[in-house]
């Protein structure tokens, strides 16, 4: 039986204003806005705290209108570097529970904690632990939504504020959200809501019962998208391989030409992907990786992901071996696989050499890390000179889809290149 995903969406409450209150405790409990230069009293409200909300002050209000609503309003200038610093500290707390963190904005993140429940408890328990840690350690609060997909987790995070946890399960989501305004659903803005209202669609529940074809005719792809979201059928993964100047992870994934069940076929694809990851890892020059992540998408479009520690490496063989072992451990024989993804992280420049002999592990009678590294370097040079397909692993030649395929360019949904013609 495939495991149900456990997704959290965290939303820091009144983030900018909350940070300002931590920096200046005298502001706590007073109506407060973050704006431009308070002395000049112009510009707009960038953020407000709970006390300011009680006066009807909204983000985007002019400072003048905010002062009209609350003459005793406290005003502070924005300190963006501090907000960035606090955001990073919050993400460090998230990282105690999972590496699968997707930054949605400076104050919002999606987290996949599916694999963490065995260590820290169910999704609701993890959410409360995160909420408590952020409040006690940083002095700001967060609302966390817990659900089986990203859209419902985000919706749940909005349902109760501040400093709260809300859970939407397959058993209770209809009761909890079907009566909510359709604008509460992600991607449904004011303009779209007005058009939906013309068709008598005012709640999320009414959206689920509407004609899919009608929505497509009126709104195009987005019409079907919000219909899928409302029905709880969102299967988008948490995109935690964020690319930035400080490389945190290196990975690659591919949709298979057809659903695969044969483990030898899956092993070939894992080697092809691992070769891509190994090549990129070496080019990134970030050191050896010590954590391996495997992502699997099944034929029914559900996702699973797992991670494990591996001996520090940049080698394709080590990465592929770890990925295949993870696959065999978690995926029963006969499981239909549509997509595979391999990612490594946990880079270390200072890792010690694994073998002082540099050639052969005397005890195991196997090729050492250093010799394997030299072999892969030699292969890379041959490919650079004569083309990627000039040297191929015997394992991948058994698969016509991989023979001659330059895996360095694989992306999810790519059309597979034709085999090189001799």
Per the domain annotation, does 6 fall within a domain?
no
Residue 40: pLDDT band with limits 50, 70, 90: low
Per the domain annotation, does 208 fall within a domain?
yes
Supply the pTM of this predicted model. 0.59
* Segment 58-83, tens digit of pLDDT: 988 889 899 999 999 999 998 988 99
CA distance 107 to 87: 7
Q: Is the peptide bond before 421 cis (omega within 30 degrees of 0)?
A: no
Per the domain annotation, does 70 fall within a domain?
yes
Lowest mean pLDDT across 35-49, 196-210, 355-369: 355-369
pLDDT score recorded for residue 302 = 67
Using CA atoms of 211, 212, 218, 223 in order, give the dihedral in degrees to the nearest 10: 130
Q: Which two tokens stand for residue 169?
A: 């399960």
* Segment 252-282, tens digit of pLDDT: 777 788 889 999 999 989 988 898 888 878 8
* 204/343 same-domain check: no
pLDDT, greater one: 353 or 211: 211
Distances (CA, A) of 27 to 24, 222, 350: 6, 43, 46
Highest-confidence segment of 34-43, 161-170, 268-277? 161-170
Per the domain annotation, does 363 fall within a domain?
no
Per the domain annotation, does 3 fall within a domain?
no
Angle at 203 between CA 199 and CA 209, to 5 degrees: 65
404: pLDDT strictly greater than 60:
no
- Residue keyed to tokens 């005012």: 202
pLDDT score recorded for residue 402 = 46
52 close to 31: Cβ distance less than 8 angstroms = yes
- Residue keyed to tokens 């300190």: 79
179: pLDDT strictly greater than 90:
yes
* Residues found in the chain: 422
CA 105 distance to own-chain centroid:
12
Pairing between strand 337-348 and 303-313?
unpaired
Q: Which of 25, 51, 81 is the last residue of a domain?
A: 81
Q: Which two tokens stand for residue 52?
A: 């300011």
Lowest mean pLDDT across 130-134, 160-164, 289-293: 289-293
CATH number, domain of 51, equals 3.40.1170.60
* 321/294 same-domain check: yes
CA distance 357 to 45: 65
CA 328 distance to own-chain centroid:
24
Per the domain annotation, does 66 fall within a domain?
yes
CA distance 219 to 237: 24
CATH number, domain of 278, equals 3.30.1490.100
* 284/335 same-domain check: yes
Range of the domain at 182: 178-230
pLDDT score recorded for residue 3 = 81
* 315/404 same-domain check: yes
Domain count for the chain, please give it.
Answer: 3
- Residue keyed to tokens 């509460």: 184
- Residue keyed to tokens 């501090």: 82
Highest-confidence segment of 60-74, 166-180, 281-295? 166-180
* 217/269 same-domain check: no
Per the domain annotation, does 101 fall within a domain?
no
* 209/262 same-domain check: no
* 284/397 same-domain check: yes
CA distance 297 to 278: 22
422: pLDDT strictly greater than 70:
no
- Residue keyed to tokens 């659900």: 147
Report, in this order, helix, strand and coil percent for the chain, each rounded to 5.
40, 20, 35
pLDDT, greater one: 83 or 414: 83
Q: Which of 196, 230, 264 is the last residue of a domain?
A: 230
pLDDT score recorded for residue 406 = 45
* Segment 96-106, tens digit of pLDDT: 899 899 999 89
154: pLDDT strictly greater than 70:
yes
At residue 372, the 3 state secondary structure works out as helix
Q: Which of 45, 64, 81 is the last residue of a domain?
A: 81
pLDDT score recorded for residue 331 = 92
From the candidates 103, 108, 158, 325, which is the catalytic residue?
108
391: pLDDT strictly greater than 50:
no
* 296/392 same-domain check: yes
Residue 377: pLDDT band with limits 50, 70, 90: low
* 223/279 same-domain check: no
pLDDT score recorded for residue 60 = 85
* 282/394 same-domain check: yes
Per the domain annotation, does 168 fall within a domain?
no
* 34/64 same-domain check: yes
Q: Of 9, 372, 373, 371, whose CA–CA distance to 161 is shortest?
A: 9
* 209/348 same-domain check: no
Distances (CA, A) of 413 to 2, 255, 269, 276, 339: 23, 6, 15, 16, 9
pLDDT score recorded for residue 255 = 72
CATH number, domain of 201, equals 1.10.150.20
Mapping DSSP onto H, E and C, the string for 300-349 reads CCCEEEEEEEEEEECCHHHHHHHHHHHHHHHCCCCCCEEEEEEEEEEEEC
- The yes-or-no answer on residue 108 being catalytic is yes
CA distance 145 to 186: 14
CA distance 105 to 47: 15
């Amino acid at each position: 039986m495939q495991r149900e995903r456990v997704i959290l969406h965290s939303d820091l409450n009144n983030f900018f204003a909350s940070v300002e209150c931590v920096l200046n405790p005298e502001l706590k409990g007073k109506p407060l806005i973050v704006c431009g230069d308070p002395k000049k009293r112009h510009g707009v409200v960038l953020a407000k705290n709970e006390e300011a909300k009680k006066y009807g002050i909204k983000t985007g209000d002019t400072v003048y209108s905010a002062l009209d609503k609350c003459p005793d309003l406290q005003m502070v200038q924005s300190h963006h570097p501090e907000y960035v610093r606090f955001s990073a500290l919050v993400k460090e707390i998230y990282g105690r529970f999972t590496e699968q963190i997707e930054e949605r904005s400076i104050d919002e993140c999606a987290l996949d904690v599916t694999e963490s429940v065995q260590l820290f408890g169910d999704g609701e328990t993890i959410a409360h632990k995160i909420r408590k840690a952020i409040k006690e350690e940083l002095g700001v609060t967060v609302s966390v939504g817990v659900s089986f997909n990203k859209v419902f987790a985000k919706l749940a995070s909005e349902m109760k504020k501040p400093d709260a946890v809300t859970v939407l399960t397959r058993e209770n989501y209809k009761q909890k959200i079907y009566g909510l305004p359709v604008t509460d659903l992600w991607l449904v803005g004011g303009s779209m809501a007005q058009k939906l209202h013309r068709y008598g669609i005012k709640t999320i529940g009414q959206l689920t019962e509407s004609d899919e074809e009608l929505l497509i005719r009126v709104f195009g792809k987005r019409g079907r998208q919000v219909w899928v979201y409302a029905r709880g059928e969102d299967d988008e993964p948490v995109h935690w391989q964020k690319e930035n100047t400080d490389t945190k992870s290196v990975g690659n994934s591919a949709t298979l030409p057809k659903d695969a069940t044969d483990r030898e076929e899956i092993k070939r694809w894992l080697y092809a992907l691992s070769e891509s990851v190994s090549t990129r890892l070496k080019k990134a020059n970030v050191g050896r990786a010590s954590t391996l992540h495997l992502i699997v998408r099944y034929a029914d479009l559900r996702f699973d992901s797992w991670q494990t520690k591996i001996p520090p490496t940049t080698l394709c063989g080590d990465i592929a071996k770890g990925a295949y072992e993870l696959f065999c451990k978690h995926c029963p024989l006969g499981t239909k696989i549509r997509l595979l993804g391999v990612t490594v992280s946990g880079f270390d420049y200072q890792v010690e050499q694994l073998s002082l002999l540099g050639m052969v592990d005397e005890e195991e009678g196997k090729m050492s890390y250093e010799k394997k590294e030299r072999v892969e370097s030699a292969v890379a040079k041959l490919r650079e000179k004569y083309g990627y397909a000039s040297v191929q692993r015997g394992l991948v030649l058994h698969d016509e889809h991989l023979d001659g395929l330059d895996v360095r360019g694989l992306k999810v949904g790519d059309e597979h290149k034709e085999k090189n013609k001799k």
